[in-house]
C-alpha cells in the first residue's frame, strides 16, 4: 500500500522535474487533496501559481480544467446550461468546466461577485444546481484559485463567505537567490516548460487509500485543546474584528491529521497544528479599523496570536500517541 508519505514524495518528485523551490506549496496542495479541501494561491505575477496547479494536476493524474476569470464571465459559463439542439428538437445539458476533478480558477478576484458565487455551492456541497436540477460533481473534486495581491484595478475582493470555503491560503513567494540561480540554469538548458513531461505519480485507488489513512490519524485530547485554543484566541485578539469560525477549527483538525500522515506518523503532534494554523486562518479573519489604519498585516497579527497560546509541553508521549502505540512502549508506529 502506498502511504500518504510516499504519496507526497512521489508527487513532489514529479513536480520538481520542471519546477524548483515550491515544496511548501506542493505539500499544501497534497494536504488539501487528501482532506477534500480547496486552496487559494496568492502571489505576484510571474511566480508560477497557475503552472504549479497544472503540474500538481498532472502528477496526481486527475482531470483538470482551467477557467480564466474575467469581469464578463457569467455563472452559466462555469456551471453549464441547457442548450437547444435543433436536430433532435430537445434541450440538452451542456456541462461547464466546474465538472472536473481539479478546477483551476485563474485570477478569481477578476470575476464579479455573482460569478464568484457560482463556486460556493460546488465548493461546499460538491453539487451544482442548473435550472432546478442538482447535479453531483466528480470525486475527487478540488478548486485551486489564484489571485494577485498587488493589482487592485478591475478586481472584486472575495466576500468572507467565499474565502471561508477555502481550506488553505498559500502564499507563493519570490524564490531565494539559490533557487532563482537554479531556475536560470534550468531554463538556460530547457527554455520551454512542458507539463506533459510530468508523469502520473499515483493512481485513483492509491488516492482513496491515502485519504482513508489520513482520516484515521489519531488526535489526542491535549492536541485537540491546543488546536481549539489557537482558533479561539483569534476571536478575542484586540486587532481582530471577526476571528476564526468552527469551520476554521475543523479545517485545522483535518489538515493537521494530513500533515502528520505525510510525516509518517499515525498521530498528530502540536507542531502539525502550529505549522498549518497560518495558512488555515490567514484568509478567514477580518482586522478591525484600528489595525488596518496602522497597516498591520494578517500574518503579523496571527504571529502575535500564536505567541500567546502555549503548546502542550507537559504532556507525555503516552498522552499524544494512540493507546496501542503507548502500550507498545511508545514505538513510532510509522504509516
C-alpha 70/C-alpha 111 separation (Å) is 5
Q: Which of 61-65, 93-97, 147-151, 240-244 has the lowest mean pLDDT?
A: 147-151
Q: What is the pLDDT of residue 111?
A: 92
Smallest CA-to-CA distance from 144 within 173, 168, 116, 114 is with: 168
Q: What is the pLDDT of residue 328?
A: 54
Task: Say if residues 64 and 54 touch (Cβ distance below 8 Å).
Answer: yes
% of the chain beyond a pLDDT of 70: 94
C-alpha 233/C-alpha 305 separation (Å) is 6
Mean pLDDT for the chain overall: 90
Phi and psi, residue 179, nearest 5°: -70, -40
For the chain, how big is the Rg over CA atoms in Å? 21
Q: With a cut of 90, say whether residue 325 has pLDDT above it.
A: no
Q: What is the pLDDT of residue 265?
A: 94
Q: What is the pLDDT of residue 269?
A: 94
Q: What is the pLDDT of residue 334?
A: 40
Q: What is the pLDDT of residue 218?
A: 96
Q: What is the pLDDT of residue 187?
A: 85
Q: With a cut of 60, say whether residue 246 has pLDDT above it.
A: yes
Q: What is the pLDDT of residue 20?
A: 87
Q: What is the pLDDT of residue 335?
A: 45
C-alpha 223/C-alpha 296 separation (Å) is 29
* Residue 311: pLDDT band with limits 50, 70, 90: confident
Q: With a cut of 70, say whether residue 119 has pLDDT above it.
A: yes
Q: What is the pLDDT of residue 317?
A: 60
C-alpha 170/C-alpha 172 separation (Å) is 6
Q: Which helix (H) or strand (E) is 41 found in, with range? A: strand 39-42
Per-residue pLDDT tens over the stretch 170-214: 999 999 999 999 989 988 887 777 888 899 999 999 999 999 999
Q: What is the pLDDT of residue 76?
A: 92
C-alpha 330/C-alpha 309 separation (Å) is 27
C-alpha 318/C-alpha 330 separation (Å) is 7
Q: Which helix (H) or strand (E) is 5 found in, with range? A: helix 4-15
Per-residue pLDDT tens over the stretch 263-300: 999 999 999 999 999 999 999 999 999 999 999 999 99
Amino acid at each position: 500500500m502506498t502511504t500518504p508519505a510516499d504519496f507526497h514524495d512521489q508527487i513532489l518528485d514529479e513536480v520538481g522535474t520542471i519546477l524548483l523551490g515550491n515544496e511548501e506549496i506542493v505539500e499544501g496542495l497534497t494536504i488539501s487533496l487528501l482532506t477534500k479541501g480547496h486552496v487559494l494561491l496568492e502571489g505576484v505575477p510571474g511566480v508560477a501559481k497557475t503552472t504549479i496547479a497544472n503540474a500538481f494536476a498532472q502528477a496526481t493524474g486527475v482531470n483538470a480544467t482551467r477557467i480564466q476569470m474575467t469581469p464578463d464571465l457569467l455563472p452559466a459559463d462555469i456551471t453549464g446550461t441547457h442548450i437547444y439542439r435543433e436536430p433532435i428538437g430537445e434541450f440538452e445539458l451542456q456541462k461547464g468546466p466546474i465538472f472536473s476533478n481539479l478546477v483551476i480558477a485563474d485570477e478569481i478576484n477578476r470575476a464579479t461577485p455573482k460569478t464568484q458565487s457560482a463556486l460556493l455551492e460546488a465548493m461546499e456541497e460538491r453539487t451544482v444546481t442548473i435550472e432546478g436540477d442538482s447535479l453531483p460533481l466528480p470525486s475527487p473534486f478540488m478548486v485551486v484559485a489564484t489571485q494577485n495581491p498587488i493589482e487592485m484595478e478591475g478586481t472584486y475582493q472575495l466576500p468572507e463567505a467565499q474565502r471561508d470555503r477555502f481550506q488553505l491560503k498559500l502564499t507563493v513567494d519570490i524564490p531565494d537567490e539559490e533557487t532563482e540561480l537554479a531556475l536560470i540554469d534550468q531554463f538556460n538548458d530547457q527554455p520551454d516548460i512542458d507539463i506533459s513531461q510530468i508523469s502520473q505519480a499515483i493512481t485513483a485507488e492509491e488516492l482513496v487509500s491515502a485519504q482513508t489513512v489520513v482520516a484515521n490519524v489519531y488526535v489526542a485530547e491535549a492536541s485537540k485543546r491546543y488546536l481549539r485554543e489557537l482558533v479561539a484566541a483569534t476571536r478575542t485578539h484586540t486587532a481582530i474584528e471577526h476571528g476564526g469560525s468552527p469551520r476554521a477549527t475543523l479545517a485545522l483538525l483535518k489538515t493537521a491529521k494530513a500533515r502528520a500522515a505525510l510525516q509518517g506518523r499515525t498521530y498528530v503532534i502540536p507542531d502539525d497544528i502550529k505549522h498549518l494554523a497560518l495558512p488555515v486562518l490567514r484568509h478567514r479573519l477580518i482586522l478591525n479599523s484600528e489595525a488596518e489604519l496602522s497597516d498591520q498585516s494578517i500574518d503579523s497579527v496571527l504571529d502575535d496570536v500564536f505567541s500567546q497560546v502555549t503548546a502542550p509541553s507537559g504532556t507525555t508521549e503516552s498522552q499524544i500517541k494512540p493507546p496501542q502505540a503507548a502500550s507498545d512502549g511508545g514505538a513510532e508506529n510509522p504509516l
